[in-house]
Amino acid sequence: MESMVPSIVFTPGELADALGALRASTPLVQVLTNAVVTNFTANVLLAAGASPAMVDVPGEAGGFAAVASGMLVNLGTPHGEQRAAMAEAVAAANAAGTPWVLDPVAVGSLGIRTNFALKLRDASPTVIRGNASEIMVLAEAGSGGRGVEATDTVDSASAAATALALRSGAVVAVSGEADLITDGTRTVHVHGGSKMLTLVTGGGCALGAICAAFLSLTDDALLAAVAGHACYSAAAERAEAIASGPGSFAVAFLDALHTLTPAELASTAVLS
């Protein structure tokens, strides 16, 4: 089945235009995410040129989802009150046409988030982003990773990603050494990036927020997800070049996201 998926590549100019549009519009991104990464995620959005709003209180989350440019629902620490806010926000986003990203952190053996993620999978997310093990669980093709770590490779999750995209209607992004992004018929690999991102907590979680920012700028969710991943990879490469370890890498990554120009993105992104 995988061999029937045609490989297409967006042009450098399309990536540059997407980043230019983000900078011009400062999309308002609602973030319902885990307690570990909320600060880093907000700073990543600010650095990239978006405006974060961590509205995850029941009674407020739905109203905000109706006016946000895009939204992230990340299940890393899904406490009861936050799960209620997420359900409210997803319903309101769908009613209002607000695009949203689902990040099913560490699904598999952890029952509460896994059951909740399966429900959200079937609630029309625009993008589902995770590591290979998480994507396989949502595709009901695997049993999960080791905590928040993937124990499966991106390649091994390729068929599951395509099946999940076709089933859910979402673009599915699998993070790894090269990221695989598919809408079920078109598949793109984003190369580059840095392994250092795996040594900074929230490295993957904030990527979901960046994708939510790009979703408000184009009707092509695949392009939005690819642009988000390409920006992320470009900034990570620049950061790794000057970092002395994961502490200085995280600092340099925020700086690089902020200073990355559309032209630089176009000239460095490697897709296949």
Q: How far apart are CA 28 and CA 54, in angstroms?
A: 10
- Can residue 177 be called a binding residue for its own copies (CB under 8 A)? no
110 binding its own copies? (CB under 8 A): yes
> Out of 112, 140, 143, 263, which residue is the one contacting its own copies (CB under 8 A)?
112
Residue ranges with strand state E in the chain: 28-32, 51-53, 70-74, 100-103, 127-131, 171-175, 179-182, 187-190
Q: How far apart are CA 5 and CA 24, in angstroms?
A: 34
Choose, by CB under 8 A, the member of 7, 11, 185, 259 that binds its own copies. 259
**Which long-range contacts link 142-148 to residues 24+ away (Cβ below 8 Å)?**
142/108, 143/108, 143/109, 144/106, 144/107, 144/108, 144/109, 144/110, 144/114, 145/106, 145/108, 147/106, 148/76, 148/105, 148/106
Minimum CB distance to its own copies smaller for 113 or for 121: 113
Which residue from 2, 8, 11, 60 is in contact with its own copies, where contact means CB under 8 A?
60
Beta 171-175 vs 187-190: how paired, if at all? unpaired
- Which of 18, 19, 43, 194 is in the footprint of its own copies by CB under 8 A? 43
Query: Does the protein bind its own copies through residue 133 (CB under 8 A)?
Result: no
Consult the annotation and say whether 146 binds a ligand.
Answer: no
**Any contact of residue 81 with its own copies (CB under 8 A)?**
yes
Contact with its own copies (CB under 8 A) among 8, 11, 13, 109: 109
Please, where are the H alpha helices in 49-157?
Answer: 61-65, 80-96, 111-121, 132-138
Instruction: Tell me the site size for its own copies, rule CB under 8 A.
Output: 62
Q: How far apart are CA 136 and CA 132, in angstroms?
A: 6
Q: Which range binds its own copies by CB under 8 A, 42-50, 158-166, 180-188, 226-234?
A: 42-50
Residue ranges binding its own copies (CB under 8 A): 28, 34-40, 42-43, 46-47, 51-57, 59-60, 63-64, 67-68, 76-81, 106, 109-113, 146-149, 198-202, 243-248, 250-259
* Binding site as annotated, residues: 54, 129, 175, 202
* Binding site as annotated, residues for substrate: 54, 202
